[in-house]
Structure 1
């Protein structure tokens, strides 16, 4: 590997880091560490694979520099490099890193937002079904850079071996890795109004990532490879209930501020990271309404890039979500959930990692007809769309980019790869197939 001339290598690894802000953007470095004296605004700091970025603000307290970092791409760090990896992911070695003030972590998206957005009848989110419309997209939780002294009490928590439960506004989220499974549990149970539970799991066997990426003369080589292998299927279970019907409906988008990482082999510049993102929306009408559903699907084949071309697995149904739709409602009600699991080998800062990545997105929505229509027909519908994304670069959502632009100095360079997804499976069904249901679907 050959580094760019403006890259400052601070030696000492993790021992050279005195403190990290809870947003993952601010770092206090041991001023005595070799290379620390060369840090300056405009330089790229490289301490560990988790602490790489362009210095956009800096101050010195007691000889220890504290810097704010902006994201950098691989080609801003390396002039020439070749990354060739075949890494088995051992769930027993997984560490959980929480980033409490992760920029742009929580937002309330507008209906129909591109990216990770639920596939559900738009009428359920636009008021046509008697449900209050969603607000326009807005970031609800944005941290702020905090240039902290080394002994500041508010820091990035240390990585843990046990799963972390993250909470926000009545929502609780728990990512988890165990042998044979990667999962995300989502729950909302605040007060007596709305209760929502989503359980998403990827089934795995011999999970591994393969990568072959080259950089020559500061440019990314064509024909990169990065694939995720060993994901055999997934399952989704959703349930929702509302005491006061439409008044309790919620819609939230979360980029889970917990990263699952595997310790890097000594000398390896890129770190493995698994991150999660989800959108959940409810459209419940009538008092004491409930909706439940669950399904299971099989995946065959890898996902990612092979020689620069997208490859996607084959999806087949093991247990139809349609057969499980249940609940009680005096009006048409539904629940939608979209979950994204992203796998990456990269470097950078927690808010924006750079490197080859691949992502699974499972997007589902179910509706349950009114119990009042039972004498004629009780209509049910289900939709599922599987999407994939892959590339080499800094892949961030518009919400995170918006938050970073607010937080970082106005001159900070923020050129990032926008989110792009490819649909490789899409299905919908309405039952029973009678005019009352099909005509209204």
Structure 2
């Protein structure tokens, strides 16, 4: 059993590895504010559809397909390959367009903010992250165990039809909305005391429940974005508020099977900034969850919790083609995840929970947000040795890895990209313009390791040892 715990923990981590002060209208809250460019230059293939939210009839839960008034100003200029810009949330590269009575059904894909703005500067020194507007994605196509391509509406393509009912933002404060994905029931929380996800899973003999949170206290943000000639010349983003990490979980197995699942949480928690140079922007908090189980027996349980301080502020700067992460970190343990591990394992019980929190200043909705972003990804790895070895030593091991990703643009999880590209391939018989497959990222991006550590107790040969 030498190094069993250490190897399990390390292996699991590899697996998981000038604002507008007027009150917003109902249409603005539901679909986003309308663009009115003033002091910026847009790219030539951007089509601004007039009327803003009043021209939107509905949008699919995942934000992929928009039903708009066919008589809205410039709606007849839309075509595959163009960039539709109807509101701050209704913006994207047109993948497909089809008539529906007096309306148009427009399916959009991701677009980098430099594909919308050619020249412009946007900045704000103080954005309070409190009282978000909640945009739930309902049951989006990426939430299925075996996802099917999104709706083509009137197209005679053999794919599952999706509802085109409008998404309505949750008007409640506190940022809570329950969603489901890949067998998990989750609800995100945000933002006064942090951004987190509570999750539960009960299927096929495996049960999980837990909460992961990037804690903070009254966070505030500042940003600067300068674009010239369709190229980012300068970008800065900083979120202050004092950040920490907190996790608690319980897991059990009884004749079940291990699984590895990673998915975006189907809700945007948005803080409208207002119009800068006529472009409506929002500060959005979105999250992802990943769970990898490695239970070494058919029966067993494991339970743990821990809390840590991490950093005073999070952010980055970019200028002259060079990135510089700004993470003022001071990692300290407040309550020990290692010491909290308990359970009744017949075999080794291993679990990794990955939690990503992304802060984005920009345009777009759900998967297709683009702008200045900073994402913190935390992985908690826990392993509890078999109780059968307890007379000698019951081994316990934990690992924490914190990484940052930041830049200007967008990123999409690979499974979602595959679904959308499958949809595009089914549309080939109808295409006038050949739209290339979408990519899982666009723009400029960098990554940085913030913190990593592993601990194993007791420090005996049978458990192995992983240096800090």
Measured against the shorter chain, the TM-score band is 0.7 to 0.9
Deviations 1:245-291 (A, max 9, x none): xx343321111121111234255522221111111122223454110
1:41 positional shift: 2.7
For 1:440 and 1:9, how far apart are their aligned partners in 2?
57
CA distance 1:272–1:434, shift in 2 (3 Å): same
Aligned 1:394-433 pairs, distance under 5 A: 394-408=410-424, 409=427, 411-413=434-436, 414-415=438-439, 416-417=441-442, 421-433=447-459
Deviations 1:225-258 (A, max 9, x none): 12222142120112101122xx343321111121
- Establish whether residue 224 from structure 1 lines up as the match of residue 235 from structure 2: yes
For 1:206 and 1:148, how far apart are their aligned partners in 2?
47
Residues 86, 208 of structure 1: 8 Å contact kept? no
- Establish whether residue 360 from structure 1 lines up as the match of residue 376 from structure 2: yes
Select 2:363's aligned residue among 343, 347, 354: 347
**TM-score, with structure 1 as normaliser:** 0.84
For 1:74 and 1:178, how far apart are their aligned partners in 2?
25
2:137 paired residue number: 98
Deviations 1:188-221 (A, max 9, x none): 1247x22101211222223122211111122221
1:274 paired residue number: 285
CA distance 1:178–1:68, shift in 2 (3 Å): closer
- Establish whether residue 172 from structure 1 lines up as the match of residue 185 from structure 2: yes
**TM-score, with structure 2 as normaliser:** 0.80
CA distance 1:218–1:184, shift in 2 (3 Å): same
- Establish whether residue 298 from structure 1 lines up as the match of residue 309 from structure 2: yes
2:56 paired residue number: 17
- Establish whether residue 186 from structure 1 lines up as the match of residue 209 from structure 2: no
Consecutive unaligned residues of structure 2, counting only runs of 5 or more, are 1-39, 156-161, 429-433
1:167 positional shift: 1.9
For 2:408 and 2:170, how far apart are their aligned partners in 1?
28
- Establish whether residue 71 from structure 1 lines up as the match of residue 110 from structure 2: yes
Segments ≥4 residues shifted beyond 6 Å: none
Q: Secondary structure at the match of 1:437?
A: coil
1:30 positional shift: 1.0
CA distance 1:106–1:392, shift in 2 (3 Å): farther
2:13 paired residue number: none
Residues 260, 291 of structure 2: 8 Å contact kept? yes
- Establish whether residue 262 from structure 1 lines up as the match of residue 271 from structure 2: yes
Residues 28, 148 of structure 1: 8 Å contact kept? no
Greater Cα offset, 22-31 or 161-170: 161-170
1:207 paired residue number: 219
Residues 101, 142 of structure 1: 8 Å contact kept? no
1:242 paired residue number: 253
Deviations 1:267-324 (A, max 9, x none): 5522221111111122223454110111111122322212441222312222221111
1:145 paired residue number: 151
Consecutive unaligned residues of structure 1, counting only runs of 5 or more, are 108-139
- Establish whether residue 338 from structure 1 lines up as the match of residue 391 from structure 2: no
Indicate the RMSD between aligned Cα atoms, in angstroms.
2.5
For 1:298 and 1:148, how far apart are their aligned partners in 2?
53
- Establish whether residue 321 from structure 1 lines up as the match of residue 331 from structure 2: no
Residues 94, 161 of structure 1: 8 Å contact kept? yes
1:28 paired residue number: 67
How many residues get paired?
A: 402
Q: Secondary structure at the match of 1:360?
A: strand
For 1:421 and 1:328, how far apart are their aligned partners in 2?
38
Q: Secondary structure at the match of 1:345?
A: strand
For 1:288 and 1:55, how far apart are their aligned partners in 2?
50
Residues 67, 147 of structure 1: 8 Å contact kept? no
For 2:282 and 2:268, how far apart are their aligned partners in 1?
11
